Every structure is written in C-alpha cells, then in structure tokens.
A and B are shown apart, each in its own frame.
Chain A
Amino acid sequence: MNAQLTVTDLAVIRGGIPVLGGVSFTLAPGRALVLRGPNGVGKTTLLRTLAGLQPALAGTISMQADAIAYSGHADGLKATLTVTENLGFWAAIYGTGGFAPVLEAMNLEALRDRLAGSLSAGQKRRLGLARLLVSGRPIWMLDEPTVSLDAASVALFAQAVRTHLAGGGAALMATHIDLGIAEAEVLDLAPFKARPSTGGGRGREFDDAFDGAFT
C-alpha cells in the first residue's frame, strides 16, 4: 500500500476556533516527519484532522483510503484483558492475524499473560505502540509516542519506526524527543499558527467559529 501523503493549505479548528492555517507538506514513503511547536499550537488537532477524526476547515489532504494508523495520548487498552487479548483484538480488527513477532519486537514476551491493568505506564505505552505494528497500515500518526517510556524503550520504539520506514512506510509524529532517526525531517508548526482574521473584523471571526460549530 502506498504511504504517500500530501497536505495542501490545511486549516484546522479546535473547539470552533481556528488554530492552524496554511499547513502544507508532503510525506513520502520511507520518510518520517516530526511535528514541533509549543504546547497548544495544534499538533494533536492536526493529527486528529489528518486521521479523519475531525473535519478540516480548509485545504486538502490526499492519500490512499485506510492508510493511517493513529495513536493518540490514550493507549486504548482494556485493563481486564491480558496483553495478548488486547493485541489479538486489534490484530483481528485490522485483519492481520499473527502478532507473535510484534510481542518480541516491543519486548512484551514476558508480559503476555498479564492483565493490561497491572502493567506499568511504560509497559502500557509499549503495548499501545505494538498496536501500530499489527495494524499493517503504511502511515503511522503518533501523538507523543514516547511519553513514559524509558531510554531502552525509546530505542526499541525508534528501531520499530526505522523498520517501518525501511519497509516503505511513513510516519508523522508529534514529539519533543530526538529519536535519532536519520530519515526524519522536522516541521515547526509555530509559523502556521492561525492569526486572528483582519479583513472582516469581529464579524468574520464569528462567522468562522459559527461555521466551525456545524462542520
């Protein structure tokens, strides 16, 4: 599956207020793009918009259908299911089947029969990221993937991303940690911050927010 992603002049809204405007970039297969920017600049909103969880205010996103594996702040784990049950569920949902190599790749072998609720924060995160590996999707969208991971797990995760890129996949991530991935480019979102519109004054702003409430 093709991992090409082209974003042109994208504007995104959060809570009816435009946060980013005029975002354009291209993500080619085998490349990674790291989103940077201060808190609240709209990294999560941009990722959610690209993942199709919320509509864009303007601009175009072109990619193959069903190409994205999204990973947000929460891991989507069920505390009363075991590690293999959690992962097996997502493997079945994505129709990819075998997940034994993934358990090994994310160093979860020893934990396979533990309940997800009894894992530490870092272990939960590793399990959450393992879901990306079983998804079989070419474009990974990661929102702060390294939160609560120790140095060894970050290295493990960076290795998983490199393997994914080498296999023709692509990754888009919002992170402040340097993962040491040679293929990664950095996109600073601060210059794209939506400015309060000047032309129509207050009325224009109100209209945008008003439209946003219905889009």
Chain B
Amino acid sequence: MIALLLRDLRLAIRAGGGFGLGLAFFLIVTVLVPFGVGPEGDTLAKIAPGILWVGALLACLLSLDRIFALDFEDGSLDLLATAPIPLEAVVTMKAAAHWLTTGLPLVVAAPVFGVLLNLQGEGFFWLTVSLALGTPALSVIGTFGAALTVGLKRGGLLLSLLVLPLYVPTLIFGAETVRRGTEGMETGAPLMLLAGITAASIALLPFASAAAIRVNLR
C-alpha cells in the first residue's frame, strides 16, 4: 500500500505529473479576483473567505481526472485490481496521494494568498484549520467521481458536473468557519460539521469508489 502511495507521489513530481498545477491555479484565481472586483479593502476582506474556499475547491478539481485515467490507459488499473491489495486500499491510497500533492500544498499556501485578498486577523488561522480539515474530503469525494468516470472518453467534464454538487457542503461549512473566525465569532459548529463530512467521506466513499471501478473495468 505504501508502495502505491510512494509511486503516485513520485509520478506526480516527475515530468508531466501535474504537481503544483493546482497551486498555480489557486494563485491565479486569488490574483484575478482583486482585478475583477476592484481594490477596495473592505469588499475584498468581506468576500475573501468565500473566494479562497472556491479557489481551493476548483484547484482540487483540476487534477481529479488524472487519478485513475492514466492507470486505466496503460493497463495498471487492471493489474492493480488483480494484485493482492484490495481495491478499497488502492482507491484510499490514490486519494491520499491526491491530497498530498494538491490539498496539502493548498493548506500551506492559502494563508499567503489570503494576503492578496486582504483577509483579516484571525482569518488566517481559521483558513488554515478549515482547509486542513476540509481538503481531505475534497480528495476523497473527487476520487469517487474519478472512479465513476474512469474509462470514459473526455470524462473530465462529466467528472466536474458530478463532483461539484458533492463539494457544496464542504464549501459551505469551510467558508462559514473562516467568515465566523474573521469576525471573531464562535467557529465550533461549522468546524465540527466540516470535520464530520471529512470523516464520513473517508469512512464510506472508498467502498463506493472501489465498487465503481469494478463495474468500469468489465
């Protein structure tokens, strides 16, 4: 299992692996928004939590279709399905590799990008915390979407349509945590709901993803 994780991480940082793609996209979104809405600090500070969370979510979406498509094309997915590790473990490791190459860099970089959007005081702390708790759910839900669309020609667009609605609860509670944190209010409730969504996704979705892959390999 660890071998699969290490292989995916190694593939991600090699040429054409797409590491940093999500991060660069996130940076561009946070740079573009102030150009679009104007330089007023108050407006930016107000929309910063939402924009940062939407940006992180879209950045995550960018690399989802690579999770299984490449393995499907070169036959590795067939071989992994007949290998001694269960398919549930394969999809969990794939989701973990996606989080480590896309989600974790976003968590680390988001506070820096928050400066560009005039995020206020406490917001930086809550942005990091909420992204750290929320992005694993984005990777796991995205892996499920990727498993559903594996083998489809140009499944990327369908994947976005399938996955984005599933991201809504994470987005709502993630952005709400940051907004409340910025305004100095109690953040316990949205943060706990966010953690709950992540925990439930990690517990349940690998089974659904593995089942979807079994069907798609036929």
Interface residues of A (CB under 8 A from B): 48, 51-55, 66, 68-81, 85, 89-90, 92-95, 131
CB-CB under 8 A from A76, the residues of chain B are 71, 74-76, 78-79
CB-CB under 8 A from A92, the residues of chain B are 2-3
For chain B, the bracket of interface size reads: 20 to 34
Do residues A80 and B7 form an inter-chain contact, with CB atoms below 8 A?
A: no
Give the complex CA separation of A23 and B11 in angstroms: 41
Give the complex CA separation of A95 and B3 in angstroms: 10
Do residues A66 and B75 form an inter-chain contact, with CB atoms below 8 A?
A: no
Give the complex CA separation of A67 and B91 in angstroms: 22
Do residues B75 and A75 form an inter-chain contact, with CB atoms below 8 A?
A: yes
Do residues B3 and A53 form an inter-chain contact, with CB atoms below 8 A?
A: no
A-B pairs with beta carbons under 8 Å apart, 15 shown: A52-B81, A54-B217, A55-B218, A76-B79, A77-B74, A78-B7, A78-B76, A80-B17, A81-B7, A81-B14, A89-B3, A89-B7, A90-B83, A93-B83, A94-B84
Do residues B74 and A68 form an inter-chain contact, with CB atoms below 8 A?
A: no
Closest to A86 in B: B7
Do residues A80 and B74 form an inter-chain contact, with CB atoms below 8 A?
A: no
B4 contacts the other chain (CB 8 A):
yes
Give the complex CA separation of A131 and B75 in angstroms: 13
Give the complex CA separation of A66 and B82 in angstroms: 8
CB-CB under 8 A from B217, the residues of chain A are 53-54
Identify A81's interface contact among B2, B11, B79, B82, CB under 8 A. Answer: B11
B154 contacts the other chain (CB 8 A):
no
CB-CB under 8 A from B84, the residues of chain A are 66, 93-95
| 14 further interface pairs, Cβ-Cβ under 8 Å (given A53-B81, A72-B78) | A53-B78, A68-B82, A70-B82, A72-B75, A76-B71, A76-B74, A77-B76, A78-B11, A78-B76, A80-B15, A89-B4, A92-B3, A93-B83, A94-B84
